[in-house]
A and B are shown apart, each in its own frame.
Chain A
Amino acid sequence: NAGVTQTPKFQVLKTGQSMTLQCAQDMNHNSMYWYRQDPGMGLRLIYYSASEGTTDKGEVPNGYNVSRLNKREFSLRLESAAPSQTSVYFCASVMAGENYGYTFGSGTRLTVV
């Protein structure tokens, strides 16, 4: 099925560990995004990639890095995880220039202990 695929679905890290969250879309969308959602809160934009080869900071980029590997894939890396990064992470994509809604992945639930 077409859509946005995120891996892993769940992850527990110890403080200071690193990991990469993977996201891939098969809709030929230009733009991809990483959001985090804390309990009872709305989504906050971490980083986005308006097109292949470009990345930009969102509202809360500190502690994260991203890579737009190709048009399909956009990864989010935590170099040194902290408990404050415990959250649900959502990846989304959209065809830039077309005013259709984003397609979101099912999320990665990350716990940092």
Chain B
Amino acid sequence: LAKTTQPISMDSYEGQEVNITCSHNNIATNDYITWYQQFPSQGPRFIIQGYKTKVTNEVASLFIPADRKSSTLSLPRVSLSDTAVYYCLVGDGNTGKLIFGQGTTLQVKP
């Protein structure tokens, strides 16, 4: 399974755009890239998933370059409630098995 590397922590301020980049050099052809958000004492929550180029939903955007060796989660205009741990995962949609890394702890300050 492809491993991912992402920053351990990031700080931001309310109203700013936050970009979290994830490296996945060994991504396989069948792998999708998925991002999750986790608040303390809760299970992770699905944010967004993509295969290539750009995906956007009501919460975030996901940018994936042509070589798919990295991806960037973009959170527009963050608020204090976006303070959480963000996980980048790559995995085969057929087997469904995903391996979590340590994630990025995002701290949004007022």
Q: Does A100 contact B43, Cβ atoms closer than 8 Å? A: no
Q: From DSSP, what is the main secondary structure of chain A's interface residues?
A: loop
Bound state CA distance, A48 and B36, in angstroms?
19
Q: Does B93 contact A103, Cβ atoms closer than 8 Å? A: no
By a beta-carbon cutoff of 8 Å, the part of chain B in contact with chain A is: 32, 34, 36, 41-47, 49, 51, 87, 93-103
- Give the A-B contact count at a CB cut-off of 8 A: 65
* 5 shortest interchain CB distances as A-B pairs: A101-B46, A104-B43, A99-B93, A43-B100, A42-B100
Bound state CA distance, A105 and B78, in angstroms?
26
Q: Contacts of A92 on B, CB cut-off 8 Å?
A: 43
Q: A99-B32, A102-B44 are in contact. Are A42 and B102 (CB under 8 A)?
A: yes
Q: Does B49 contact A100, Cβ atoms closer than 8 Å? A: yes
Q: Does A102 contact B98, Cβ atoms closer than 8 Å? A: yes
B1 to chain A, nearest CB (A): 10
By a beta-carbon cutoff of 8 Å, the part of chain A in contact with chain B is: 4, 30-31, 33, 35, 41-45, 48, 50, 58-59, 90, 92, 94, 96-107
Bound state CA distance, A99 and B95, in angstroms?
10
Q: Does B94 contact A101, Cβ atoms closer than 8 Å? A: no
Specify which of A33, A97, A106, A107 is in contact with B93 (CB 8 Å cutoff). Answer: A97
Bound state CA distance, A109 and B44, in angstroms?
15
Specify which of A42, A58, A107 is in contact with B43 (CB 8 Å cutoff). Answer: A107
